[in-house]
Amino acid sequence: MSDASTVFDALPRPQGAYVTAVAEPLRAGDVLLTSAGMTPREDGRLVVTGLVGRDLDVAQARGAAALAARNAVAAMTAGDAGRVRRWLRMTVYVACADGFTDLSAVADGASEVLDGLGLGRPARSAIGVRALPGGAPVEVELTAIAASNVEDE
């Protein structure tokens, strides 16, 4: 790079169901919502465990990622997903066996949940890790812009 005025012509292409960057204007009254990391739990019980690429195949891991994403949306919105104006960012952690590299395919399971809700795709990272809480195969974190709910303040 020669200087700050360098033009970048070769834009990176997504390697899965996400966008490479998100810009969303803020409106008066908007709030930033972010979730804690959510795992594939039902009624508080972890329903899928194991390492992707050893104990689980990609299809099973995608399903676990979808459940974790639904939990993240529920946690952020207290069941009122209509408050969300735009998904900004998603991070999907994948507990995987050595050599497993199909992380984006696993994370696409979480992206499909957001696709079903509309509001555009978020920027996304899919990160392979050695272990997650309780032996979970995936953990999903979300960030969004939402309309303020005056009753919450």
Domain residue spans in the chain?
47-146
**11-43 pLDDT tens trace:** 677 777 777 777 777 778 888 888 999 999 999
Helices and strands (DSSP H and E) totals, the chain: 2, 6
The CA-atom distances, in angstroms, between 116 and each of 13, 110, 113 are 22, 10, 5
Give the range among 47-51, 113-117, 118-122, 139-143 with minimum mean pLDDT. Answer: 118-122
Polymer length in residues for the chain = 153
DSSP state at residue 136: -
**97-132 pLDDT tens trace:** 999 999 999 999 999 999 998 888 999 999 999 999
Q: Which fold has domain 47-146?
A: 60s Ribosomal Protein L30; Chain: A; (3.30.1330)
The band of 45, judged by pLDDT with boundaries at 50, 70 and 90, is very high
Find the largest Cα–Cα distance for the chain.
Answer: 55
Cα–Cα distance, 28 to 136 (Å, whole number): 39
pTM of the model: 0.84
The band of 72, judged by pLDDT with boundaries at 50, 70 and 90, is very high
